[in-house]
Amino acid sequence: MMATNKWMLFLAMLVCSVLGWYYHSVNGNCIFGLSNHHRLDQPEKVKEILFFFRVPKTGSEMTVLLLQWLQGINGFRHVRLQNTVHRRLDTFEQRNLREEVLGVLSVSEGLPVAFDRHVYFTDLERLYSGIQRTSEAIKVNYFSSLRDPIDRIVSQFYYTRATPRPDIKLPPHISTPPPTSYRFQTMEECLEAAEPECSFVTGQHYDLQIPYFCGHDEHCTQLNNARALEQAKSNVELHFRVVGVLEQLNCTLRVAEKRIGTFFSGVQQLYFNELLEPKKNKNYGRPRQLREDLQMVLRNNLTMEYMFYTFVKQRLLEQCGESQNENQ
């Protein structure tokens, strides 16, 4: 048995030497770079980054504003990556994203760097093979946030009317392209007319919240796909230090400050002293709430979106409770 263990250890070391990379994942932290020789003895050489996967209409602009303010306070650099509607990437495009990140890090002068982009979950470390190696390890913190699914859809509906962009092109995998003319000016009218823009059909493809955590596989954008739901939940558990919830903003800030302090240290004080209210894109024409019967129609169509939302919310509240207990 001892000989077998030694042989297995030798094989593991050989594989690491040949590949020239080391990967470690625990509690959502990833470290990738060169061989791990003396890595734990040299923590000061580990660069740290934050990658904020922005889900539209979930309060992400507020988080970006906070990061822009915090970079001077906490001594990191915040970089906004190219932001397009092209959020589902093929393998080549995912590697280009990672090259872009590494390019910024190469001139960051050792500072931690926070990135943000509207893009589906991309495991940067998994793309290491075949890409030019870095000179030191990189610790990656994945962060994101979401929102009550119906509230997000309603917000998106009125936002597109308040800020129309007729030339915008959605990726071909999305089932319902934006309307050429906004025939309906209220969400109620749109739902009652069963307009494709407001109808969510199981099996069709939509840019909802699950894809931002599931990733770039074709099934990730398919509504009420059980595989997509489980993949999104698994990615949250394995990779994300924090996934915030807009309706639980206080807990989101508390947990982010506790678990990703390099970037979010002081965020609660900054928010309550400077913002007080979430920074939102103003949609003055939006009604306060949909009629209850129409909410039920949407809820029935968004079953797995609500299952995922409940899962993330419960996880956040558990993390929030843990951070409160630690401070007592």
Q: In the structure encoding, which two tokens stand for residue 93, read together?
A: 């495009």
Cβ count near 9 (within 10 Å): 10
DSSP H helical segments within 107-225, as ranges?
Answer: 149-162, 187-192, 211-214
Q: What is the pLDDT of residues 290-316, one digit of tens each?
A: 889 999 999 999 999 999 999 999 999
- The pTM of this model reads 0.80
Q: Residue 49's closest CA among 126, 119, 142, 112?
A: 112
Q: What is the pLDDT of residues 252-268, one digit of tens each?
A: 999 999 999 999 999 99
Mean pLDDT of 163-178: 57
Cβ count near 92 (within 10 Å): 8
Mean pLDDT of 273-285: 61
Q: What is the pLDDT of residues 70-126, one digit of tens each?
A: 999 999 999 999 866 789 998 888 888 988 888 898 888 889 999 999 999 999 876
pLDDT number for residue 273: 87
pLDDT number for residue 173: 58
Q: Residue 289's closest CA among 146, 145, 148?
A: 148
Q: In the structure encoding, which two tokens stand for residue 312, read together?
A: 């993330």
> Among 115-119, 169-173, 205-209, 297-301, where is mean pLDDT lowest?
169-173
| Parallel/antiparallel/unpaired status of strands 113-117 and 240-245 | unpaired
CB-neighbour burial class of residue 65 (10 A; exposed 0-12, middle 13-18, buried 19+): middle
**What stretch of H or E contains 130?**
none
Q: What is the pLDDT of residues 27-82, one digit of tens each?
A: 444 444 433 333 333 334 557 999 999 999 999 999 999 999 999 999 999 999 98
Higher-confidence residue: 218 or 11? 218
* R_g of the chain computed on alpha carbons: 21
Q: Can you tell me the distance from the alpha carbon of 76 to that of 108, in angstroms, rounded to the nearest whole number?
A: 9
Q: In the structure encoding, which two tokens stand for residue 22, read together?
A: 């080391």
Residue 241: pLDDT above 80? yes
pLDDT number for residue 281: 54
CA 258 to chain centre: 18
At 205 the three-state DSSP class reads strand
Cβ count near 132 (within 10 Å): 7
pLDDT number for residue 39: 34
Mean pLDDT of 152-164: 85
Judge contact between 81 and 300, C-beta under 8 A: no
Mean pLDDT of 151-156: 93
pLDDT number for residue 266: 96
pLDDT number for residue 21: 32
Question: 303-327 and 292-301 helices cross at what angle (nearest 10)?
Answer: 90
Q: Can you tell me the distance from the alpha carbon of 149 to that of 198, in angstroms, rounded to the nearest whole number?
A: 13
Q: Which amino acid is at 88?
A: R
Judge contact between 313 and 245, C-beta under 8 A: yes
Mean pLDDT of 322-328: 76
At 121 the three-state DSSP class reads coil
Residue 18: pLDDT above 50? no
pLDDT number for residue 260: 97
At 223 the three-state DSSP class reads coil
Mean pLDDT of 3-17: 43
CA 224 to chain centre: 20
Judge contact between 81 and 115, C-beta under 8 A: yes
- Quote helix, strand, coil % in the chain, to nearest 5: 50, 10, 40
pLDDT number for residue 20: 33
Judge contact between 30 and 23, C-beta under 8 A: yes
Q: Can you tell me the distance from the alpha carbon of 282 to that of 63, in angstroms, rounded to the nearest whole number?
A: 16
Most confident residue range from 26-35, 101-110, 193-202, 221-230: 221-230
